[in-house]
Amino acid sequence: MKEKTIFNRSAERKSKSRTILEKFYSVQFSLNNSGPVYLFKLRDISLNGLCILVKGDSSVLKQLEVGDILDMKYKTPESFNSSKSLKTRITSKNSHDHFAGHTLVGLYIIDKQDERL
């Protein structure tokens, strides 16, 4: 029964991430107010749903920790100037067989506004 619960949560995340990917193309964030701004294409290739692909030797990857909560700007595909800021938790950092030298960084939108997406 425990496995079924885990499966349902995974399916729920996948469904939610597909809805997000229909509305948003990329995500932009900064780790501090004076640092650089990072921009990544949103993907849905991990088992847990929404993620970004980051080069393994990138300085941003070294600074991102699982559990971190960041304000991220989600950009729409129609207009690069259109975005929505949502609090997002880093849920995982895993390598991927098809993307050698890269890490998949799992994202989970925790902002209550995501219910209206």
Express each pLDDT in 7-53 by its tens digit.
344 444 445 555 677 788 899 999 987 789 999 999 987 566 899 99
pLDDT at 92: 93
More confident call, 7 vs 117: 117
Query: Where exactly are the structural domains of the chain?
Result: 2-116
Tokens of 94: 């895993």
Residue-averaged pLDDT of the chain: 79
Calculated CA dihedral for residues 116, 30, 25, 114, nearest 10 degrees: -10
pLDDT at 81: 72
Q: Which CATH superfamily is domain 2-116 in?
A: predicted glycosyltransferase like domains (2.40.10.220)
The mean pLDDT of 63-79, rounded to a whole number, is: 90
The mean pLDDT of 55-69, rounded to a whole number, is: 94
DSSP class of residue 78 equals S
Tokens of 53: 């692909």
